Structure 1
Amino acid sequence: MTIRRRLIFSNILMIIIPILLCLLLSTIFINIILNYAGIEGNLHSRSNDVFYQTVAEMKSLSTEWKYADEEKIKSELASFDLPQKSKAVSIALYEGNKELYQDGNFTTSPLTTLAQEKDKSRGHYTIDNTALFTVQAGQYRVYLYNKDHDYDKDNRFDLINQTINPGVLFAIFILFAIVLTNGILTRFVFRSIINPLNILVNGVHKIRDGNLDYRITYEGKDEFAEVCNDFNEMARQLQELIEARKKDDENRRELVAGISHDLRTPLTSIKTYAEGLVEGVAATPRLQKEYLETIISKTDDLEHIVQQLFLFSKLDIGEFPFSEEIFDIGLALDSFAKGAAEDYGENMTVTLENTTHQKYVEADPVQLRTVFTNLSENALKYGAEKDNQLLIKSYQENDHITIIFQDNGPGVSEDSLNKLFQIFYRGNKARTSTGKRNGNGLGLAISAKIIHRFSGTIQAENGPENGLKIIITLPVLEGIENG
């Protein structure tokens, strides 16, 4: 049940329950009053009337009974016909302690004993709701007994009317019912709110204390369930954000270290050769020319690194201007492979297996060629020492074009595959060959940025026997013919 429904339900019960309790308590209390006052069935009134009427008759006959015999008194007692008038009133005739006559189920009681002890010619005795009237008739004694007597009925009615105000009682009942209902419903509603709040507070404290793996488990079906789900999602995103920030900090440190290393190496060479020229180490024109050519070469290396850093930074912040167009990817690969084969010559054999002619993609052809060049340069640097080969394959698979650049070098460790596209990552030592110009760890990082910009993917795998495979996928455009 949702909290909103709980509140509506509790408010309805706040109205209904006090009314029901008031009706119930009022009914019970009124019944108690009626029973106490002797109104129910008029039992007390009926027995009292019969009792006092008979008392009056007994008083008028008491003088005659002083001289009457037993049979006359019995006859006159029977004429009262008490059983027909009230079952609560009975009469008896005694001589000493011997019962001579009784009518109406007369039984002795403490009042009978009391009257015998008093031994008066006439007496009226009451205990609780019983009454006894006795009169002496010569040697006999007559007892009139009422077992359902109300000796002060009128006074009690006056007391009730004076001390009990029905309006006050009803107000008291309402107040009691409201307090009772409020207590029960408040506990019911607040417990359903406080418990989830405590769970949320505990979760917040866990996150505050650095436990980013903590997740709230809440089995309720109310509004708090959605809040707890949002809390867990927030905790997940926060954990990913902090992990990404830690990774960014680590990458930044690696970036600074990589830049320092890549700039320091050519700068050291430039400084060394420049000092050699100044100090006259290069004494001949030929040697001086070699020193200057080396300085120029190292300067070109510096310029290349700076250009790549600038390109990567522009790609990273999304400010690099792309000129995307639709073109035949098969023809683009044919053109690149032909040029690469001529450029690398005997240093690396380039082979193309192309099945994507008249397959079109939307990308920047210049920047895509930059990716192909980076991958080819990577194969040249880290390929086999002898008979270095680069295989370029392309084919269509479902809704995308797959392009593979595979060298025949030593490959990389499985742990390094996912790190190859990080900036300044150079892989293991097996991928660095003596006598070849080492890379600066920017080529694959730049290639990944460019491919992702074209809604493609790029990943690295080791070949089935040896070498490294760089696999690119690009979305293919269907329904386009002849460009």
Structure 2
Amino acid sequence: MKQNKFTLRGLIILFMIGMTLITTVLMMFLFANFDIRINEHTTLIKNPYLWLAVFMVIVIVFFMILVLLINKYIFDPIFAMKRAAEHIKSGNLNYPIQYKADNEIGDFCNEFDKMRVRLRDTILEQHEIEKRRKRLIASITHDLRTPLTSIKGYVEAIQDGIVKDQETYEKYLSTIAEKADHLNHLIDDLSVYTKQELGEFTLNLERVNSGKILASYFDHKVDEFKYSNIDLILYKPFISTFINVDPYRFNQILENLIGNAKKYAHTKIEVRTKVVNYHLQIAIQDDGDGIPQDVLASIFDPFFMVNKVKDQKEKGGSGLGLAIVKQLTERHEGKITVESNVDEGTTFVLDFPLDI
């Protein structure tokens, strides 16, 4: 059984009461046993007993004021922090410390409250990370199973001798290669995303010419679009200036945006560049169905899809592409914005500061 004990406040109050009682008893003893009076032989100012009594009264008043000050400026904030700590212990991290005095103790309470807020935010962040982890596992399971199932089906068809002619055989091999590329892209996206979440992602930044790196990327992309029903329209020459980027990750940003536009465009994709306020802007515009305004702000969220079932089944999306684009762009101290109108299309604008 826990023994009862006096609190610090109780001990100080008990001490003050004892001091008051002792002083009072002493004064009564003096007045009762000595002839303390003012007469013709002893003036008021020379009476030593009266001076003693005045001194005792001053001491009592002083200690009473001291107790009040200690109670107000020390014990009140201590009890406020104690109540807050009890709430924190019980899991309530939304209980603020009420003591807000402009002094050292008030500053200490303020820092304690900041610690509470930081602890609350950290726990909420951990819960969010855990939710993302579970969603990531679910997404990996689905996204990897789909192309793997297709590859397995085509391989089994070839092994079982179902494929008889060379044309079908080459078509199956082409499909297998396409699904393998899709798997590789998914794995790369997942790798980038998880490294970003863990804080283990690094960039190899270089000062590069924007015109050259854009021309190099799109020269290869033009060949790919020759066999597509989508026209890739490039407004050349690209702006030639200097930006500080990781060339591989810069191309990955473009690859994700162009690949995304290709999935949803009807007939064309247009690419433009310009410089605004010492920033290089790269606009990628498609003429697809567009994105509804009520979900436009969420498209950069991990695993978000406007139409999840359709996007995964028909478009092969994982919901990570745009999230990765945003992460990579911001790691380059840039930003990405989007404008979209239903039935008109969508425009993504990359914005990178110039290195001049």
TM-score range, shorter chain: 0.7 to 0.9
Task: Supply the distance in 2 between the matched residues of 1:322 and 1:234 (Cα, whole angstroms).
Answer: 33
Q: CA deviation at 1:380?
A: 0.3
- Cα deviation, 1:421-446, whole Å, max 9, x if unaligned, reads 34443332697499x64233333233
Task: Supply the distance in 1 between the matched residues of 2:88 and 2:342 (Cα, whole angstroms).
Answer: 46
Match of 1:147 in 2: none
Q: CA deviation at 1:255?
A: 0.8
Match of 1:373 in 2: 255
The residue type paired with residue 421 of structure 1 is F
Task: Supply the distance in 2 between the matched residues of 1:343 and 1:372 (Cα, whole angstroms).
Answer: 14
Match of 1:459 in 2: 337
Task: Supply the distance in 2 between the matched residues of 1:318 and 1:246 (Cα, whole angstroms).
Answer: 17
Match of 1:239 in 2: 120
User: 1:6-405 to 2 correspondence within 5 Å?
Assistant: 33-35=37-39, 39=41, 174=55, 177-282=58-163, 290-320=171-201, 322-345=203-226, 346-353=228-235, 357-384=239-266, 387=267, 389-405=268-284
Q: CA deviation at 1:184?
A: 3.5
Cα gap change, 1:168 to 1:202, in 2 (>3 Å):
same
The residue type paired with residue 134 of structure 2 is R
Cα gap change, 1:205 to 1:412, in 2 (>3 Å):
farther
> CA contact under 8 A between 1:363 and 1:454: conserved in structure 2?
yes
Q: How many residues were matched structurally?
A: 325
Q: CA deviation at 1:260?
A: 0.6
One of 305, 329, 337 as aligned partner of 1:426? 305
Match of 1:12 in 2: none
Cα gap change, 1:425 to 1:464, in 2 (>3 Å):
closer
SS at match of 1:362: strand
Cα gap change, 1:383 to 1:175, in 2 (>3 Å):
same
- Cα deviation, 1:74-120, whole Å, max 9, x if unaligned, reads xxxxxxxxxxxxxxxxxxxxxxxxxxxxxxxxxxxxxxxxxxxxxxx
Cα gap change, 1:249 to 1:381, in 2 (>3 Å):
same
Cα gap change, 1:295 to 1:238, in 2 (>3 Å):
same
Match of 1:469 in 2: 347
Q: CA deviation at 1:227?
A: 2.4
SS at match of 1:341: helix
SS at match of 1:472: strand
Q: CA deviation at 1:475?
A: 1.2
Match of 2:19 in 1: none
Match of 1:409 in 2: 288
Task: Supply the distance in 1 between the matched residues of 2:42 and 2:183 (Cα, whole angstroms).
Answer: 116
Cα gap change, 1:329 to 1:222, in 2 (>3 Å):
same
> CA contact under 8 A between 1:463 and 1:469: conserved in structure 2?
no
Cα gap change, 1:225 to 1:327, in 2 (>3 Å):
same
Return the TM-score normalized by structure 2: 0.74
The residue type paired with residue 247 of structure 2 is P
Return the TM-score normalized by structure 1: 0.57
Q: CA deviation at 1:224?
A: 2.8
Match of 2:5 in 1: none
Q: CA deviation at 1:185?
A: 1.9
Q: CA deviation at 1:448?
A: 2.4
Q: CA deviation at 1:259?
A: 0.7
Task: Supply the distance in 1 between the matched residues of 2:253 and 2:355 (Cα, whole angstroms).
Answer: 20
Structure 1 spans left out of the alignment, 5+ residues:
1-20, 42-165, 479-483
Cα gap change, 1:394 to 1:228, in 2 (>3 Å):
farther
Task: Supply the distance in 2 between the matched residues of 1:180 and 1:239 (Cα, whole angstroms).
Answer: 45
Task: Supply the distance in 2 between the matched residues of 1:302 and 1:358 (Cα, whole angstroms).
Answer: 35
Structure 2 spans left out of the alignment, 5+ residues:
1-22
> CA contact under 8 A between 2:73 and 2:105: conserved in structure 1?
no
User: RMSD in angstroms over aligned alpha carbons?
Assistant: 3.9
- Cα deviation, 1:230-267, whole Å, max 9, x if unaligned, reads 23332332332222222212211111111111111122
> CA contact under 8 A between 2:211 and 2:240: conserved in structure 1?
yes
The residue type paired with residue 398 of structure 1 is N
The residue type paired with residue 290 of structure 2 is G
SS at match of 1:236: helix
- Cα deviation, 1:443-464, whole Å, max 9, x if unaligned, reads 3233223222211112333248
Q: CA deviation at 1:210?
A: 3.7
> CA contact under 8 A between 2:232 and 2:269: conserved in structure 1?
yes
Comparing 310-319 with 258-267, greater Cα deviation is found at 310-319
> CA contact under 8 A between 1:408 and 1:468: conserved in structure 2?
yes
Greater C-alpha Rg = 1
Q: CA deviation at 1:368?
A: 0.9
Task: Supply the distance in 2 between the matched residues of 1:361 and 1:180 (Cα, whole angstroms).
Answer: 74
Q: CA deviation at 1:361?
A: 1.0
Q: CA deviation at 1:476?
A: 1.3
Cα gap change, 1:246 to 1:310, in 2 (>3 Å):
same
- Cα deviation, 1:183-215, whole Å, max 9, x if unaligned, reads 332233223221222222233333444443433
Q: CA deviation at 1:375?
A: 0.6
Comparing 328-337 with 258-267, greater Cα deviation is found at 328-337
